[in-house]
Structure 1
Amino acid sequence: MGLKEEFEEYAEKAKTLPENTTNESKLILYGLYKQANIGPVNTSRPGMFNPRDRAKWDAWKAVEGKSKDEAMSDYITKVKQLLEEAGLSA
């Protein structure tokens, strides 16, 4: 299985993470997902009256230097870690 296929598999598994997954973890996954699929941030930062989108933008910006393959690999690792912490099989 190639990296892209494994990444897509774990993107589906990420949808099964428990509701009590921290926002911090969700933001890390969001940033890595965007970096893996789109690459560097390509939009301007949302204003302070939109804190949810601003946090997501910041999470994406935080991983901007990673290659798409690196972001996919880190995403897979993070999903595996979160599934194990939740007692679910990776």
Structure 2
Amino acid sequence: MTSEPSAAFVQAQQDVQALSKKPGNDVMLRLYALYKQGSVGDAGPDRPGGFDFVGAAKYDAWNTLRGKSPEEAQREYVELVRSLQAGG
């Protein structure tokens, strides 16, 4: 696991809160997954179940990144936020 999040990752977390337009659900799930992988690492073994559809969707998105290094996830998070800021 990474010792310290990069300055760009920390800044991107702030920048995403200031976006003029909220991204769609697919992009929001991708942001969540990259954030969790970049800050925590691989998802745990316990997938939310029952009627926790949002929790299950978040877990599934995060779990797709299993094995990706936190540093790589942070870099992708920063790139995604920058593309959203640019209107992409």
Fold shared, TM-score > 0.5 on shorter chain: yes
Show the 5 A alignment for 1:43-58. 43-58=45-60
Structure 1 partner of 2:64 = 62
Q: TM-score, normalised by structure 1?
A: 0.85
Structure 1 partner of 2:42 = 40
Q: How many residues align?
A: 85
Offset at residue 48 of structure 1 (A): 4.0
Evaluate the alpha carbon distance shift between residue 18 and residue 44 of structure 1 in structure 2; reply closer, same or farther with a 3 A threshold.
farther
% identical aligned pairs: 33
Structure 1 ranges of 4+ moved more than 4 A: none
The C-alpha deviation readout for 1:5-52, integer Å capped at 9, x for no partner, is: 110000110111245410100100000000011000125111141111
Offset at residue 85 of structure 1 (A): 1.3
- Root-mean-square deviation (CA, aligned residues, Å) is 1.8
Gapped regions of structure 1 (runs ≥ 5): none
Inter-partner Cα distance in structure 2 for 1:66 and 1:56: 17
AA aligned to 1:27 is L
Show the 5 A alignment for 1:17-28. 17-28=19-30
